[in-house]
A = this chain, B = another copy of it.
C-alpha cells in the first residue's frame, strides 16, 4: 500500500489532484469526507466536491473517527479530504485535551493503515498549509496552526509520497 499526502494553500488544486490520483486506481474507491456542514458556505463547497466526484466514489462522511471509516469498506483506493477539517473538528470538540486526543488518534490511524495495507492499494490524504502568513492575533488560531502542523508532520513522516500544490501544479517534495 502506498500512502500519499497532498498539501498546499487554499484554492491551489489539492482536491482536484487528489481525485485525479485516486481515479488512476480501479473501483471500488472510497472517499472519506471530514467536513461538517455547519454553514451555507461550507455546504456549497461540499456540494461542489460531491458533484466533482460523480459516482466514481463511495462516500463516507466521518468528521473524527478516521480509523472506523477506513475499516468500513473494502477499497482499492481511499481519499481522505481533508486533515484540515479533521484537526479543526477534534480541536473544537476537545478544547481542554486536544493535544492528547490528537496524539491518540494519530497512533490509532497509523495502526489502522497497517491493518488495511494488504487489501488497499493507495491511501491519499489532503491537508492544508496554514502557517505561512502573519502569526494570527487570535489564540485559537495559533493553537490550530500548531496542531495542524503536528498532524501534517506526522502524516508526512509515514507517507511514501508528499506533494505540494501551487497554482494547480504538483511539486513532489518526498
Contacts and interface: CB of A to CB of B under 8 A. Distances in A.
A7 B134 contact: no
Nearest to A16: B153
Nearest to A135: B10
| Chain A interface residue number, banded | 35 or more
Contacts of A142: 41
A16 B134 CA distance: 21
Given A129-B132, A134-B133, A134-B141, A13 B169 contact: no
A148 interface: yes
A156 B8 CA distance: 15
Secondary structure at the A interface, as helix, strand, loop or mixed, is mixed
A50 interface: no
B173 A10 contact: no
Contacts of A155: 167
Contacts of A132: 8-10, 129-133
Contact of A12 (B127, B141, B149): B149
Interface string A153-173: 101110000101011110101
B129 A134 contact: no
B167 A127 contact: yes
A34 interface: no
Contact of A156 (B133, B135, B167): B167
Interface in A122-151: 127, 129-136, 139, 141-142, 144-146, 148-150
A19 interface: no
